[in-house]
Structure 1
Amino acid sequence: MRYPGPGDPHRTSPPAPCGLPAELNGFVGRAGELAAAARALEASRLVTLAGPGGIGKTRLALRAAATLKNRYADGVRLAELSLLTDPELVAHTLLAAIGVTDHTGRPARTVLLERLAPARMLLVVDGFEHLVDVCAGLLHDVLRGAPGVTVLAAGRRPLRLDGETVLPLGPMSEEDAELLFTVRAAGTAAWQPAEGDPARVRELCRRLDGVPLALELAAGRLPALSLEQLLERTDDRFGLLTGGVRGALPRHRTLRTTVGWSHELCTPAERLLWARLSVFAGPFDLEAVEYVCSGPDLPSEAVLDVLGELIAQSVVTRAEGTGGARYRMLDTVRAYGAEWLASLGDTERLRSRHRDWFMGLATWCELEWFGPRQSDVAACADDALPNLRAAVEVCLERPDEAHLGQHLVGTLWFYWAGCGRLSEGRHWLDRVLAEDTRYEDARLKALWVLGYVAVLQGDDAAAAAALHECGEAAEAAGNVVAGAYATHRKGCLALLSDDMPRAERLLRRALADYDRAGELNSNVLMGRVELAMALVFQDRLEAAVAVCEEVREICGTFGEQWAGAYALYVLAYAAWTAGEHARARALLVECITVDHRFNDLVGLVLAIELLALVTASEGDPAEAAVLQGAAAPVWDSVGVTVFGSAHFGAPRELCARRAREQLGARRYEECVRAGRALPLDAAVRRALTAPERVRVFRARQRTGPPAAPDTREPAGLPTGNGGEAAG
């Protein structure tokens, strides 16, 4: 067999050969990945699709090769290496793939390089990971000696050759996963989606990580099981997902075998780390791995190298997070590791180490929250949330460690209250406080945090009960700090109940107790801001402004932003009351920017509603009504609208009355509906660009009759999650 080069008189024009197996069922989804593979093959002669077992590397490589076969004069050839066990057979297998049989007795490597030298072909090499060293060496020589050959490799790790372009292949998108399952289900059984099935399919795809092999195996179970039964059995995915189709590669016949294939390729140290990594419930960083997973049999200084090998083999994936590199495992891979960890009898010890690490992380976050890194702390807590949940669960499973759960959930007060997580915080606080413990300090902290969260949710009864219990127990235990927090939050409850004299009295007492205890943090600053609120609602503007200016000065010194945003709200309220509309607007724009950054919905919605009143006062009732409408869905997320408070609700009521009087009921409702249709990000953009809208509105008033309200997004602004506003 001979491959003629360009200009060779023996070159013929028939279609290039395609040594690929025919598809037995339709290829579904992966359009973006196919396009990326095509682009990579235009720019590089070695492209590797790397990913974990069952992720669809082989299928994608074959589809990409079939799509691109006309680019290569000598066609496309497939070399399947997964069933080889003898490294000496790699060159023989590649020779067979290109259709060469040699009886000369010369080394197969020599013959292969000779035959490929003049070729113009795409060589697909699949399943090489267990023979990576031999395969990499051979392909290096092929690429150097055969300039017309391009290699598309598919495996669980890169080849690590110069010029290699690696395309990591992850789970399918939600839409593609649902489509794949539906198509395969329809082909394996006379299955017709019933009412409720789309939601069940979506949940099944989520639980199976969007892994194509898992989805196909699950679809194959439908002749015997209903979708409900499939969902019930996904906890035992390795037992459920067996029995692949006849003719499939052995490693693709069951999910356990597929993942086990990767496990067999690992060294003992890699297997040990894989098992220990299974205690992580979500993304994790290197420092966490070094603490949780190291030991005498795996020194911390060796962890990085071993982790790197697991990444290379697609057992662990890497992504950039807000604080640097983050790692994670697919749930299926993690479940396999968890079985091995259990077989080693080391699960509970590793779960304890995991819990200890994330308790330490939560403590660090609480301390750093009062400082210039608040945005980083919020992002860190977001990343760590699945692992923080797992840490709390460990505490709740062990009665003698329930106090650790109370301490952990209480420590996260800044996240529940400051980062838009009130509902979840309430869930965990109720659970940990249902446990009876002998550790009073941990319980006291959880109690005042519960009182705080319940206040913000508008649940006055629960707040009062928790804060009363906290205050009584703190006094009995002589815990001055816990008592100050209980008094502080009782002051908040009075503030939202419109009892301003009582709120002022309680807040002043709490602040005095904080001073005596040497307590200074974001909570203490919030106490000062809440005192200013009580003052401003009693028309003592000068005193309220003085308190907030002092808070802003402290915030500037320490880099604090969250409590400072509430000070901006009070200052804006005072400025509006004094008729200083431009100053009020500038303060509110800054306030909204900070609140949105932290996803603090309580602060955000209060600021947007006050901005609506400022806008109405500036003479643009239509824009004010749009902003009021934009605030309504945010209140739906928070809970009770303006907490039922007449004072906090006054800007809302006054704005609505003024705008309705000027616009008429029908036009007012149209503008409110337009605002309500805005997604949160678009609503914030609307608020932040309101000054420009007011300027345009005033210009129209000077030059012509009043125009209908402009409810479109300003030109040049990004459309974000929700696109343009309705209206």
Structure 2
Amino acid sequence: MRSHLPAELNLFVGRDRELERLDRLLREARMVTVTGMGGVGKTRIALRAAAAAAEQERYCDGVRLVELSAVNDPGLLDHAVVEALGLTDHTARPPRRLLLDHLAERRLLLVVDGFEQLVDSCAELLRELLRACPGLRVLAAGRLSLRIDGERVFTLAPMGDEDALRLFTERAAGVRAGEWPAEGREVAAAELCRRLDGIPLALELAAGRLGTLSVEQLLRRLDDRFRLLTGGGRGALPRHRTLRTTIGWSHELCTAVQRLLWARLSVFAGAFDLEAVEYICVGPDLPQEEVLDILGELLDQSVVAREDGPFGIRYRLLDTVREYGAEWLAATGDADRLHRRHRDWYLGLATWCELDWFSPRQTEVAARVECELPHLRAAMEFSLASPEDAHLAQYLAATLWFYWAGCGRLGEGRHWLDQVLDAESEHGSSRLKALWVLGHVAVLQGDAVAAIAALHECREEAELCGDPVAAAYAVHRTGCLALVTDDMPRAEELLRAALAEYDEAGELNSNVLMGRVELAMAVGFRGRLEEAVSVCEQVVEICEDHGERWARAYALYVLAYAAWYGGVPDRARRLLRETLAVNYAFHDLVGTVLTLEMLALVEVDTGDPAEAAVLQGAAERIWPSVGLPLFGSAYFYAAHVLCEERTRERLGDASYEEHRRRGTLLGTDAAVARALGQVADGTGELTPACEGLPHEGAAHAKARRLPLRAERGDGGLKR
């Protein structure tokens, strides 16, 4: 059973009795919330309890963590849970519906953390999920309860004296390896733990300071710290005063320049890298050449945490530390400038990623945007808050078109595009781009009404203000809409017109190449398959010159269809497996399910109708997350109908239905692994089937060019 929980980086200390109580509550109730003051260890104990439940295999569909601390917009809550569950959905249906459908028959534990800023929306979502999904259980961790019917609240108190001393001693040993515990300091350490009220965060921060201060020095400084930071008025809750005391004490131990960097780091919505810090946080009072050393000092003091990821070392502020820094940043009067610099940095990053998408670094670009998504969201939110900056939100949402459309994020892309286009903007170019990107997303979701409205507005406005490239994109995506709604003559006309405008403007990127592939589909459906092959061979050649993989995969899909039609199923299978590996790697569910459908037809012709039926069942399960099966298009549906007819003929109706039913039980990971001839490793990671296979490049394709034609009748396909 998969837990999907982060691994513990240091030893979990104490809390034995609390873990036993929490475990009992999890067995008794479907909704348990761990509450308590900031820094008391709510997240850590919740994850520990969840991991124990996973080890006991009490939830056959696993344990999932939903981290919400970086999500501030209630409209993104459902998307965040969809993301945490690893779901991909290209339809126009609300993400809430996707969650309800996915969890309806599953036995799963959902660990929800960092929800305080979304407490009402989170309570509403969890209430609905628990009512509709009887196998779901929720373990939440936050500073307050959600007040859901049936909720059991577990209030986590600070550590007792013994556990607090154990935690401090263990962390101190990590800082002063080989030198702790020092003889004669046990009494002072116990006194320090008592005066810090056994708050785990305070103990961790105190231990982190032992590189420069002794325990006795820490004790002496506590008196000054309490007088300096009393934590609010007389009516404030004691736990709130203690939180400010805990973080304020660490703050007081910092130098002036360390405090300044701490405050400025609070603008980051998630993990960040050194380059971003050196751009955003510098100023006359904080020179760039000093940032690295000061950041290292904050790291040593446990104010900043280090993470090792695919893009090297990154850093993160604990949420409570970040909030405290934000208060100090606001007090300096410099918050707006810092947030603007943060926004500008991530605008630049998004611009670079869009340009680099058309390159051999597509995989890295997709992963980088995924990594920086909390910051990109924050940048859009900040820009939307000021009418004069609304065009920057429009620009950013539109610039990420490749991520929304190519990496399985259509739902979130639609959310942002709708929001930014509701804002008034004097900058026509940003709005025009957002309009055609919205049209593109709506087409892929099967929302023809929204697509037509956005693309019509974009084309009209582009022609009025003299922007031929934006007009070309609007025409292109209107042609794509005609393609999936079976108007092939209009699709061909519009796509040719758009491609001509692109050529005249010198526009060449993945979008343009996809336009050529879509043109190939249109002419192929009109019976001119040899012309379609020629177009896709040219696309493959250009993609290989530029290292482009995403558009190339769709071109290979058309060439695979041509190979099957020409009676070369083995080549068709090789091409389709390479296509599927790329689509799966990018989380492109549209390309993935189309390829599975075509692979099923190839399996019939290579003598394995049972496998064809399984793949059709697997595709049937995926289609609801994309939209209408095969877009509701008779042209796209023809291969599916032919495959089913031939498979039923060879297996018989009963056997076909049994194998198809088996396919519907496969998740996407398992279905893709099966289609690629692999075994899923339990993590969702697959080695691309194209590794070790020869690339089906233009030269190879030309050597195999086939005189093909397509015939259409009553939605069927003949060969």
TM-score, length basis structure 2: 0.66
Residues 618-674 of structure 1, C-alpha deviations (whole Å, 9 max, x = no match): 222221121122223332222232221111122222222332333333333332232
Q: Residues 513, 268 of structure 1: CA spacing in aligned structure 2 closer, same or farther, 3 A cutoff?
A: same
Partner residue in 1 for 2:70: none
The match for 1:299 is 287
**Which AA in structure 2 matches 1:133?**
T
In the aligned structure 2, how far is the partner of 1:362 from the partner of 1:270? 30
Q: Residues 471 and 22 from structure 1, CA distance in 2 versus in 1: closer, same or farther, beyond 3 angstroms?
A: closer
- Who is 2:438 aligned against? 450
Residue number in structure 2 paired with 1:273 = 261
Distance 1:266 1:66, change over 3 A: closer
**Distance across 1 between alignment mates of 2:294 and 2:485:** 58
**1:484-527 Cα shifts (integer Å, max 9, x gaps):** 11111111011111111111111111111111001111111111
Rounded Cα–Cα distance in structure 1 between residues aligned with 2:434 and 2:465: 15
Q: Aligned partners of 2:171 and 2:552: how far apart in 1? A: 64
Counterpart pick for 1:376 among 348, 364, 371: 364
- Counterpart in the other structure of 1:609: 597
* Matched position secondary structure for 1:279: coil
1:545 aligns with 2:637: no
1:645 to 626, 633, 636: 633
Give distance in 2, aligned partners of 1:519 and 1:455: 22
Structure 2 residue aligned with 1:328: 316
Q: Does the CA contact (< 8 Å) of 2:15 and 2:159 recur in 1?
A: no
Partner of 2:470: 482
Task: Give yes or no for the alignment of 1:257 onto 2:245.
Answer: yes
Find the counterpart in structure 2 of residue 222 from structure 1: none
Superposed, which structure 2 residues align to 1:57-456 within 5 Å? 93-94=185-186, 127-135=206-214, 242-243=237-238, 254-456=242-444
Per-residue Cα deviation, 1:566-606 (whole angstroms, up to 9, x for no partner): 00111111111112111110000000111111111111111
Report the CA distance between 1:430 and its aligned residue.
Answer: 0.8
Give the 3 Å change call, closer, same or farther, for CA 78–592 of structure 1 in structure 2. closer
Question: Is residue 2:452 matched to residue 1:469?
Answer: no
Which residue number in structure 1 is paired with residue 617 of structure 2? 629
Letter in 2 for 1:522: S
In 2: Cα distance, 1:607 partner to 1:638 partner? 13
* Aligned 8 A contact 1:682 1:722 in 2: no
> 1:424 & 1:126 partners in 2: Cα distance?
37
1:555 partner amino acid: C
User: Structure 2 counterpart of 1:446, which letter?
Assistant: A
Alpha carbon RMSD of aligned pairs, Å? 3.8
Deviation (angstroms), 1:300: 1.2
Alignment pair present for 1:579 and 2:567? yes
The offset of 1:136, in angstroms, is: 9.8
In the aligned structure 1, how far is the partner of 2:235 from the partner of 2:304?
24
- The question of whether the paired residues in 2 share the 8 Å contact of 1:238 and 1:255 is answered with no
| Residue in structure 2 matched with residue 184 of structure 1 by the alignment | none
Give the distance between the partners of 2:596 and 2:233, measured in 1 at CA.
51
Letter paired with 1:491: G
Moved more, 267-276 or 482-491: 267-276
Q: Aligned partners of 1:239 and 1:665: how far apart in 2?
A: 77
The residue identity in structure 1 corresponding to 2:442 is A
Residues in 1 aligned to 2:346 and 2:506: alpha-carbon distance in whole angstroms? 27
Give the AA of the match of 2:681. P
In the alignment, the residues of structure 2 paired with residue 598 and residue 646 of structure 1 have an alpha-carbon distance, to the nearest angstrom, of: 27
Report if aligned partners of 2:188, 2:215 keep a CA contact under 8 Å in 1. Answer: no
The CA deviation string for residues 414-469 of structure 1, in whole angstroms up to 9 with x for no partner, is 11111111111111111111122221111111111111111111111111111111
Q: What is the rounded CA distance, in whole Å, between the counterparts of 2:14 and 2:531 in structure 1?
A: 81
Shift in Å, 1:283: 1.8
Post-superposition shift, 1:677? Answer: 2.1
Displacement of 1:539 after TM fit?
2.4
With over 3 angstroms needed to count, the CA separation of the structure-2 counterparts of 1:257 and 1:678, relative to structure 1, is farther
Give the residue type in structure 2 aligned to 1:385.
L
Maintained 8 Å contact 2:265/2:281: yes
Aligned match of 1:718: 681
Question: In structure 2, do the counterparts of structure 1 residues 558 and 258 end up closer, same or farther at CA, with 3 Å as the change threshold?
Answer: same
Contact (CA 8 Å) 1:457, 1:643: kept in 2 or not?
no
Residue number among 558, 576, 579 corresponding to 1:591 in the alignment: 579
Identity of aligned residues (%): 59
Distance 1:379 1:421 in 2: 13
Q: Would you say the 8 A contact 2:205–2:250 is kept in 1?
A: no
Q: Any idea what SS the aligned residue of 1:280 has?
A: coil
* 2:14 and 2:163 in contact (8 A); partners too: no
Q: SS state of the match for residue 320, structure 1?
A: strand
Q: Structure 1 residues 586-595 or 313-322, which shifts more?
A: 313-322
Residues of 1 paired with 2:313 and 2:259: CA distance? Answer: 22
1:507 and 2:599 matched: no
2:620 and 2:233 map into 1 onto residues whose CA distance is 46
SS in 1 for 2:315: strand
Q: Does the residue aligned with 2:526 lie in a helix, a strand or coil?
A: coil
Cα distance per residue 1:283-310 (max 9 Å; x no partner): 2111111111111111111111111122
| Greater CA drift, 129-138 or 609-618 | 129-138
- State whether residues 209 and 300 of structure 2, in contact with CA within 8 Å, keep that contact through their aligned partners in structure 1: no
For CA contacts below 8 A with separation 6 or more, give which structure has more relative contact order. Answer: 2
What is the identity, as a one-letter code, of the residue corresponding to 1:347? A
Q: Is the 8 A contact 1:470 1:486 kept in 2?
A: yes
- Equivalent residue letter for 2:444: L
CA 1:546/1:334 → structure 2, altered by over 3 Å: closer, same or farther?
same
> Does the CA-based 8 Å contact 1:498-1:645 persist in structure 2?
yes
Once the two structures are overlaid, the 10-residue window that deviates more, 538-547 or 420-429, is 538-547
What 5-or-longer segments of structure 2 have no aligned partner?
1-12, 21-44, 53-141, 144-155, 174-181, 191-202, 218-230, 687-719
Shift of 1:278: 1.2
CA distance in 2, matches of 1:289, 1:77: 33
> Where does 1:497-536 land on structure 2 (aligned, <5 Å)?
497-536=485-524
Residues 79 and 94, structure 1, Cα contact 8 Å, conserved in 2: no
- Whether contact under 8 Å (2:247, 2:324) holds in the other structure is yes
- How far off is 1:127 after superposition? 3.9
Residues 667 and 66 of structure 1, relative CA distance in 2, 3 Å threshold: farther
Distance 1:297 1:685, change over 3 A: same
Q: Is the 8 A contact 1:682 1:719 kept in 2?
A: no
**Shift in CA distance, 580/680, structure 1 to aligned 2, threshold 3 Å:** same
- Alpha carbons 1:591, 1:607 under 8 Å: kept: yes
**Counterpart AA for 1:407:** Y
> Which amino acid in structure 2 is aligned with residue 460 of structure 1?
A
The answer as to whether partners of 1:355 and 1:391 remain within 8 angstroms in 2 is yes
| Cα distance in structure 2, aligned partners of 1:481 and 1:314 | 51
Superposed displacement of residue 96, structure 1: 7.3
SS in 2 for 1:254: helix
The residue type equivalent to 1:603 in the other structure is G
CA distance in 2, matches of 1:653, 1:419: 29
SS of alignment partner, residue 438 of structure 1: coil
Distance 1:507 1:240, change over 3 A: farther
Query: 2 CA distance for matches of 1:364 and 1:60?
Result: 52
Larger Rg: 1
For each residue in 1:190-236, what CA deviation from the matched residue of structure 2 results, as whole angstroms up to 9, or x when unmatched? xxxxxxxxxxxxxxxxxxxxxxxxxxxxxxxxxxxxxxxxxxxxxx9
Q: What SS is found at the alignment partner of 1:317? A: strand
Gaps of 5+ in 1: 1-20, 36-53, 68-75, 82-89, 99-123, 139-235, 245-251, 690-712
